[in-house]
Amino acid sequence: MELFALADVPEIREGGDLAAVVEERVDLRADDVLCVASTVVSKAEGRTVDLDDVTASDRARAIAQRLEDVTGEAKDPRFAQVVLDESTDLVTEAPFLLTETHFGHVTVNAGIDRSNVPEADLLLLPEDPSGSAARLHEELGVPVVVTDTCGRPFRHGQRGVTIGWAGMSASRDWRGETDRDGRELGVTVESVVDELAAASNLLTGEGDGGTPLVVVRGFEFGDHDGSDNLFREYDDDLIRQALQAWEFPG
């Protein structure tokens, strides 16, 4: 299996044709998966926001005030408003704002970025990342995953995850398969799209590298059932229920 980042990718602007950018730089093969950093998908889709265009509700003001009290850092109520607008559910309000996005992804600040966004204050995640992936998949013919970098419980640091995918299953389902001794497997559902996103992030990086497009060549899904059930629903997510029942003691 081989991974390479596409070179000389231009600055992506609203209306930018990502499929053309890819096709001009690589002859994709049938065994390729294209990994695309969500930041360039969002830019192409014009998902920028200027804070001057936002009016904070009382709710957003209260959230920002609480965050400011708890962290000791100034918080813009308009930023909290944009996070609320991008979210269907709040998981924690303090000491950080952890929410569920409209497409089911639980992440801090609804995944809104302030880096690598010229000409605007904020960059939202794509509205429907799997829809974006599907359009690219249709044009390019290979499986596409749209990635973001985000944190996770229990461990420091961030890593690449998938927020949208098309042309392949999100997970390999190992149920019904057996180990080397014929026993049932403990691990049953392997989220290969997240493993692909993590792998590609090693090349994408987080800074000014200019490498939002990574090809994974020669990944073999293998002869497994697939599953597209990636984001847990509230009723099926005990950690989220625990977090929502909890009150930050600060």
Ligand X SMILES: Nc1nc2c(ncn2[C@@H]2O[C@H](COP(=O)(O)OP(=O)(O)O)[C@@H](O)[C@H]2O)c(=O)[nH]1
Binding site for Mn ion (CB under 5 A): 113, 148-149, 206
Which of the 8 DSSP states describes residue 175?
T
- Confirm if 60 and 80 have CB atoms less than 8 A apart: yes
Q: Per-residue x/- mask for a copy of itself, residues 45 to 74, rule CB under 8 A?
A: ------------------------------
Secondary structure letter of residue 233 according to DSSP: P
Q: Does 124 bind ligand X (CB under 6 A)?
A: no
Q: Which is nearer to a copy of itself, 62 or 70 (CB)?
A: 70
CB of residue 12 vs ligand X: minimum separation in angstroms? 4
CB 187 to ligand X: min, Å: 6
Whether 145 and 167 have beta carbons less than 8 Å apart is answered as no
Task: Map residues 72-101 to x or -, x wherever contact with a copy of itself holds by CB under 8 A.
Answer: --------------------x--x------
Which residue matches tokens 């493993």? 195
180 binds ligand X (CB under 6 A): yes
Residues ≥6 apart with Cβ < 8 Å to 131: 164
Q: Which residues within the stretch 112-141 sit at the binding site for a copy of itself (CB under 8 A)?
A: 113-118
**Residue partners of 176: CB distance under 8 A and separation at least 6:** 225
> From CA 243, how far away is CA 146, in angstroms rounded?
27
Applying the rule CB under 8 A, the residues between 194 and 233 that interact with a copy of itself are: 194-199, 201-203, 205-208, 210, 219, 222, 227, 229-232
Dihedral pair phi/psi, residue 40, rounded to 5°: -80, -30
**Closer residue to Mn ion in complex, CB, 30/187:** 187
DSSP state for residue 113 in the 8-state scheme: B
The token pair that represents 101 in the structure block: 């996005």
Which residues from 18-77 bind ligand X, rule CB under 6 A?
37-40, 43
Binding flag, residue 116, ligand X (CB under 6 A): yes
Q: How far is the CB of 161 from ligand X (least distance, A)?
A: 10
Q: Is 144 in the site for a copy of itself (CB under 8 A)?
A: no
Identity of the residue, 77 or 160, whose beta carbon is nearer to Mn ion in the bound complex: 160
Give bridge partners of residue 4 from the DSSP assignment: 215
- Say how many residues make up the chain: 250
How large is the C-alpha radius of gyration of the chain?
A: 19
Cβ distance to Mn ion smaller for residue 17 or 206: 206
